[in-house]
């Protein structure tokens, strides 16, 4: 059930009415039923996968929680009787007991993800390297498997680390894992945060509902009016790399940057808006990423929950793990302080970016994309002293115009790396980027040839207006803590309603949907 399908609109409408008609204590149960229906819509057989992850994670977390509770109670009662070593040994014993459950559950669920998502990729590489002819297994990918697996494993790690309490109610935990607005493309919520509102009872709050509807309408606008319209041109350009080189590659970088942003943030707007109409708050996943001045800032603004997941659950634990600490010490001793301190950070970075690339898809283009991000991140880190000197020597570079230049530079740099996602082929991607410097064609993209990309003059006009609106909304968000809805709400109820209606009609009329349009999934559905 795509967010942009008629079925979803009807499903959401029905659920919304029931949510506020039924007694409040039934609300979370209704959301669980709704999530099950939403998930089953993609295929009943997929319920088994998410079911296994839900049950095993819940059970392991409950066991871990129970061991910790019993152990801690015993420890508190008897710690006075134990000396320091005994206390340490006792705590280690508890940790050991919980680690068995933790590792078993982690390996099982990451194993399911790995087998389903990456087996064919491994087979493909084995076939290529050893000229073998192993048949592909072609597993059907359960909807949102990467998202719900990461969400569940995040919860398991938090319980294991004593940062979250195990949820004793399986049904409530099932709702956390399968909460339907998030299942397709995140955000990858943390249990502690989401559970605060997910299981709470929510009264009918018109203000909150209007806010949610506004966000949903804006999400649909970005997805259907901008992203899906641009998709036509992106497909044309990406489909004939031999024909569209040079300046066209610059054009596709620009178009894809807009399309991906409108598509992904549009989906997240719908997700967050849907949560809001049910009174459930979710964290932001994007905060004006294209206004980032460098790659590090970019990754704190783009797909934030994924970035923090990798940081909290892979980067930091890896950096402070025993082998890495030993390596760090060894490096400092043998390579000097400056190099030594970098070794473990860079290794952790490489692992994280490799995993991030692989998370996006089982293909070399995603892995290379991840590693390129790693290279740029490391290069930025290495060049920091140079930047400091540069800014000190030229104080003018701390002013606004230089910030704009930095945003411009980061936008195109990230766009150029993202080209690997466009062509889905590593050599082609590099060849195409290379053609920017070897092939001209700048005249073509400013001529009537641009109409051959499947978009008409009126389409470009709609896109231009849509992009201007997106930029305006982003500028407001960049300059203030809250989003533009606060400004609209300040103008009164009529203004909010008028904006919602205007967006709805803009989507209905200018949206790229229905017969004649190639219905497209949200891009991040595939990850």
- Determine the interface stretch with other proteins among 12-20, 21-29, 311-319, 456-464 (rule: CB under 8 A): 456-464
Q: Single out the residue of 29, 169, 508, 526 in contact with other proteins (rule: CB under 8 A).
A: 508
Instruction: Kindly state whether residue 458 participates in binding other proteins, applying the rule CB under 8 A.
Output: yes
Of the candidates 125, 201, 497, 526, which one interacts with other proteins according to CB under 8 A? 497
Q: Counting contacts by CB under 8 A, is residue 408 touching other proteins?
A: no
Candidate ranges 11-19, 189-197, 470-478, 501-509; the one touching other proteins (CB under 8 A) = 501-509
Closest approach, Cβ 517 to other proteins, in A, equals 8
Q: Give yes or no for residue 6 binding other proteins (CB under 8 A).
A: yes
Does 221 bind other proteins (CB under 8 A)? Our answer is no
Q: Does 169 bind other proteins (CB under 8 A)?
A: no
Total residues in contact with other proteins, by rule CB under 8 A: 19
Closest to 346 in 3D by CA, of 385, 325, 377, 306: 377
CA dist 357 and 51 (Å) reads 26
Pick the piece of the chain touching other proteins (CB under 8 A) from 16-24, 252-260, 403-411, 454-462.
454-462
Q: Is 448 in the site for other proteins (CB under 8 A)?
A: no
Indicate which single residue of 38, 121, 313, 510 sits in contact with other proteins (rule: CB under 8 A).
Answer: 510
**Cα–Cα distance between 8 and 14 in angstroms, integer?**
10
Instruction: Identify the CA nearest to 155 among candidates 272, 53, 293.
Output: 53
Q: Does 443 bind other proteins (CB under 8 A)?
A: no
Q: What is the Cα 211 distance to its own chain's centre? A: 23
Q: 383 CB contacts (<8 Å, ≥6 apart)? A: none
Q: Is 352:311 a contact under the CB 8 Å cutoff? A: yes
Q: Select from 144-152, 388-396, 453-461, 479-487 the region that touches other proteins (CB under 8 A).
A: 453-461
**Is 505 a binder of other proteins (CB under 8 A)?**
yes
Residue 203 touches other proteins, criterion: CB under 8 A: no
- Which bin fits 519, alpha (ψ -120 to 50), beta or left (φ > 0)? beta
Contact 393, 277 (CB under 8 A): no
Binding mask 257-296 for other proteins (x = CB under 8 A): ----------------------------------------
Binding residue (CB under 8 A) for other proteins from 300, 480, 493, 526: 493
Q: Which stretch binds other proteins (CB under 8 A): 20-28, 438-446, 480-488, 515-523?
A: 515-523
Q: Residue 285: helix, strand or coil by DSSP?
A: coil
User: 39: exposed, middle or buried (C-beta count within 10 Å: 0-12, 13-18, 19+)?
Assistant: buried
Stretch that binds other proteins, among 15-23, 31-39, 184-192, 502-510 (CB under 8 A): 502-510
Please state, in angstroms and as integers, the Cα–Cα distance from residue 487 to each residue in 23, 208, 483, following that order.
34, 15, 8
Alpha carbons within 13 angstroms on the beta-carbon side of residue 11 total 22
Q: Pick from 281, 358, 299: which is nearest to 117 by CA?
A: 358
Per DSSP, the three-state class of 415 is helix
By C-alpha distance, which of 274, 299, 268, 301 is closest to 286?
301
Note whether 511 binds other proteins by CB under 8 A: yes
* Dist. CA 323–CA 169, nearest whole Å: 37
**Residue linked to tokens 């990467």:** 146
Q: Which of 115, 326, 501, 526 binds other proteins (CB under 8 A)?
A: 501
Please report the DSSP string for 424-456 in residue order.
--HHHHHHHHHHHHH---HHHHTSGGGGGGS--
Q: Does 515 bind other proteins (CB under 8 A)?
A: yes
CB of 514 to other proteins, least distance (A): 6
CB 261, min distance to other proteins, A? 24
212: contact with other proteins by CB under 8 A? no
Tokens of 38: 């939403």
Q: Which of 158, 263, 459, 483 binds other proteins (CB under 8 A)?
A: 459
Among residues 23, 206, 385, 400, which is the contact residue for other proteins, using CB under 8 A? 206
Query: How many helices (H) and strands (E) in the chain?
Result: 23, 0
Residue 464 found at the interface with other proteins (CB under 8 A): no
The least CB distance from residue 10 to other proteins, in Å, is: 9
State yes or no: residue 162 binds other proteins (CB under 8 A). Answer: no
CB of 159 to other proteins, least distance (A): 43
Q: Is 466 exposed, middle or buried (0-12, 13-18, 19+ CB in 10 A)?
A: buried
Check residue 491 for interaction with other proteins (CB under 8 A).
no
Q: How far apart are CA 448 and CA 202, in angstroms?
A: 55
C-alpha span between 289 and 174 (Å, rounded): 32
Q: How far is the CB of 507 from other proteins (least distance, A)?
A: 9
Residue 514 contacts other proteins per CB under 8 A: yes
**Interface residue with other proteins, options 201, 403, 456, 480 (CB under 8 A):** 456
Which spans of this chain sit near other proteins (rule: CB under 8 A)? 6, 206, 456, 458-459, 493, 497, 501, 504-505, 508-511, 513-517
């Amino acid at each position: 059930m795509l967010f942009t399908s008629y079925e979803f609109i009807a499903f959401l409408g029905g659920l919304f009415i029931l949510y506020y008609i039924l007694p409040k204590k039934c609300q979370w149960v209704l959301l669980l039923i709704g999530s099950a229906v939403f998930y089953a819509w993609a295929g009943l057989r997929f319920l088994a996968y998410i079911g296994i992850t839900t049950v095993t994670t819940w059970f392991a977390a409950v066991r871990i929680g129970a061991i910790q509770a019993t152990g801690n109670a015993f420890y508190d009662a008897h710690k006075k009787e134990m000396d320091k070593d005994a206390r340490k040994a006792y705590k280690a014993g508890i940790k050991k007991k919980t680690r068995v459950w933790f590792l078993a559950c982690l390996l099982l669920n990451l194993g399911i993800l790995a087998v389903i998502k990456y087996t064919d990729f491994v087979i493909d590489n084995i076939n290529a390297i050893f000229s073998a002819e192993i048949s592909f297994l072609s597993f059907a990918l359960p909807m949102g498997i990467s998202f719900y697996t990461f969400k569940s494993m995040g919860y398991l790690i938090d319980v294991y680390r004593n940062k979250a309490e195990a949820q004793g109610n399986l049904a409530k935990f099932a709702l956390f894992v399968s909460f339907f607005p998030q299942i397709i493309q995140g955000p990858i919520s943390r249990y502690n945060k989401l559970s605060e509102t997910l299981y709470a009872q929510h009264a009918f709050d018109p203000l909150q509902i209007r806010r949610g509807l506004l966000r949903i309408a804006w999400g649909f606008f970005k997805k259907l009016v901008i992203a899906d319209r641009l998709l036509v041109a992106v497909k044309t350009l990406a489909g004939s790399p031999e024909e569209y080189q040079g300046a066209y590659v610059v054009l596709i970088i620009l178009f894809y940057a807009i399309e991906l942003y409108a598509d992904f943030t549009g989906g997240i707007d719908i997700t967050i808006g849907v949560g809001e109409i049910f009174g459930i708050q979710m964290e932001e996943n994007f905060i004006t990423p294209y206004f980032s001045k460098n790659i590090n800032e970019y990754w704190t603004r783009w797909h934030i929950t994924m970035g923090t997941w990798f940081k909290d659950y892979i980067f930091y634990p890896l950096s402070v793990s025993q082998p890495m600490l030993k390596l760090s010490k060894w490096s400092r001793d043998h390579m000097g302080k400056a190099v030594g301190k970098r070794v473990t950070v860079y290794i952790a970075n490489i692992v994280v970016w490799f995993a991030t690339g692989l998370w996006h898809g089982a293909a070399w283009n995603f892995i290379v994309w991840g590693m390129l991000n790693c290279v740029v991140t490391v290069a930025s880190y290495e060049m920091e002293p140079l930047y400091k000197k540069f800014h000190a020597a030229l104080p003018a570079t701390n002013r606004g115009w230089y910030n704009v230049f930095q945003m411009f530079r980061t936008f195109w740099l990230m766009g150029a790396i993202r080209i690997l996602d466009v062509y889905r082929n590593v050599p082609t991607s590099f060849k195409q980027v290379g053609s920017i410097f070897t092939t001209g064609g700048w005249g073509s993209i400013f001529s009537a040839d641009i109409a051959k990309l499947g978009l008409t003059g009126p389409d470009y006009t709609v896109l231009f207006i849509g992009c201007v609106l997106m930029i305006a909304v982003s500028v407001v968000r960049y300059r203030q803590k809250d989003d533009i809805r606060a400004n609209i709400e300040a103008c009164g109820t009529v203004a909010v309603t008028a904006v919602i209606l205007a967006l709805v009609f803009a989507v209905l009329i200018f949206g790229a949907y229905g017969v004649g349009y190639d219905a497209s999934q949200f891009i991040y559905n595939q990850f």
